[in-house]
């Protein structure tokens, strides 16, 4: 049911409306999902890349990822309105009414699922749909219940390369896809923790129970950040050992993991917002650099 506020909508141009719906899809996160899916598809394809199937996988994954981001904003529109960093999103700012946001997001999710099942394969569709279900049905409500939400949220966040590999192979039983899952999972936890540390007051004001909320001295935040940053090393080495990636990826991946670990340790030694911001930027740099190393190793060596 729409709230009374949904009726207080400002008349806007067609371009403004399209821009708002585009912002509803969380374009930055959606693009990250597509790149991660692409990595999984390329490595899963081996020497024979089917580019037609790849295009279909990108389209279907985009639809589900965009719909998931939009539906997350629909579910969290009230709490988003309580936080400075999200209060100007289209739904809490009432530039889009909640019913329209819900219809838009669900249409994207289910059209993406149907697209993947029909034009890629049912396994790829199932992985992408499971990603949306865990993110929306478990992680999103868990944010108001327990700090364990960060670990739960890292699961759907790490599934895109699994979906890409499944799109290429039609199965989810190969070790390579789960090693890629490991890289994304262990990267994501300290990435989210750094943001949660920077925005802990904002999150608390909205009733979101992110880990730093009751970790005033930061011991738990640092512990889990370090554990996950350190875990990137064996996972990176395992990708080389399983002959999924070569020496270029191994050397580059270990160097990038070392840089990420350096800023994580720096934050651990002095838990200021400045050091949390450095750790956040290190995490933002880490993932695209690792994926670039994958592409260089795959296509230029």
Domain ranges of the chain: 11-173, 175-301
Integer Cα distance of 238 and 249 in angstroms = 11
Q: What is the structure's pLDDT at 86?
A: 87
Q: What is the structure's pLDDT at 11?
A: 67
| DSSP assignment of 142-179 | HTTT-TTHHHHHHHHHH-HHHHHHHHHHS-S--HHHHH
User: How many CA atoms does the CB half-sphere of 32 hold within 13 Å?
Assistant: 19
Q: What is the structure's pLDDT at 283?
A: 96
Q: What is the structure's pLDDT at 10?
A: 54
Q: What is the structure's pLDDT at 6?
A: 47
Q: What is the structure's pLDDT at 4?
A: 46
Contacts of 170 (CB under 8 A, 6+ apart): 121, 123, 124
Query: Is the sign of the CA dihedral 86, 100, 35, 150 positive or negative?
Result: positive
Q: Which CATH number fits domain 175-301: 1.10.1060, 1.20.120, 2.30.30, 1.10.10?
A: 1.20.120
Q: What is the DSSP letter of 12?
A: -
Mean pLDDT of successive 10-residue stretches along the chain, which has 301 residues:
48 86 95 96 92 98 97 92 88 92 97 98 97 96 90 96 97 95 97 91 80 81 96 97 93 97 96 95 96 91 68
Q: What is the structure's pLDDT at 215?
A: 78
Integer Cα distance of 113 and 116 in angstroms = 5
Q: Identify whether the C-beta of residue 74 lies closer than 8 Å to the C-beta of residue 101.
A: yes
Contacts of 6 (CB under 8 A, 6+ apart): 94, 97, 98, 99
Q: Which CATH number fits domain 11-173: 1.10.357.140, 3.40.640.10, 1.10.287.110, 1.10.3210.10?
A: 1.10.357.140
């Amino acid at each position: 049911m729409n709230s009374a506020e949904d009726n207080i909508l400002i008349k806007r141009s067609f371009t403004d409306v399209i821009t708002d719906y585009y912002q509803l899809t969380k374009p930055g996160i959606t693009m990250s999902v597509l790149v991660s899916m692409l990595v999984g598809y390329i490595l899963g394809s081996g020497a024979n890349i089917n580019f037609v199937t790849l295009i279909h996988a990108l389209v279907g994954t985009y639809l589900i990822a965009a719909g998931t981001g939009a539906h997350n904003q629909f579910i969290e529109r009230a709490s988003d309105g309580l936080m400075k960093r999200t209060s100007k999103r289209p739904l809490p700012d009432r530039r889009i009414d909640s019913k329209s946001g819900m219809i838009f997001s669900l249409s994207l999710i289910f059209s993406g699922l149907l697209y993947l099942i029909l034009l890629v394969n049912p396994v790829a569709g199932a992985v992408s749909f499971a990603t949306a279900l865990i993110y929306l049905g478990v992680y999103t409500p868990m944010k108001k219940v327990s700090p364990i939400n960060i670990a739960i949220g890292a699961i759907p966040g790490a599934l895109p390369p699994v979906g890409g590999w499944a799109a290429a192979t039609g199965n989810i039983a190969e070790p390579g896809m789960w090693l890629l899952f490991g890289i994304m999972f262990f990267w994501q936890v300290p990435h989210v923790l750094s943001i949660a540390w920077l925005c802990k007051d904002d999150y608390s004001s909205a009733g979101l129970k992110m880990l730093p909320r009751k970790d005033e001295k930061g011991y738990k935040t640092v512990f889990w950040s370090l554990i996950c940053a350190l875990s990137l090393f064996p996972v990176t080495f395992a990708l080389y050992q399983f002959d999924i990636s070569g020496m270029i990826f191994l050397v580059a991946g270990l160097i990038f993991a070392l840089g990420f670990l350096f800023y994580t340790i720096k934050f651990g030694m002095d838990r200021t917002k400045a050091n949390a911001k450095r750790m956040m930027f290190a995490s933002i740099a880490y993932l695209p650099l690792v994926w670039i190393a994958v592409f260089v190793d795959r296509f230029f060596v």
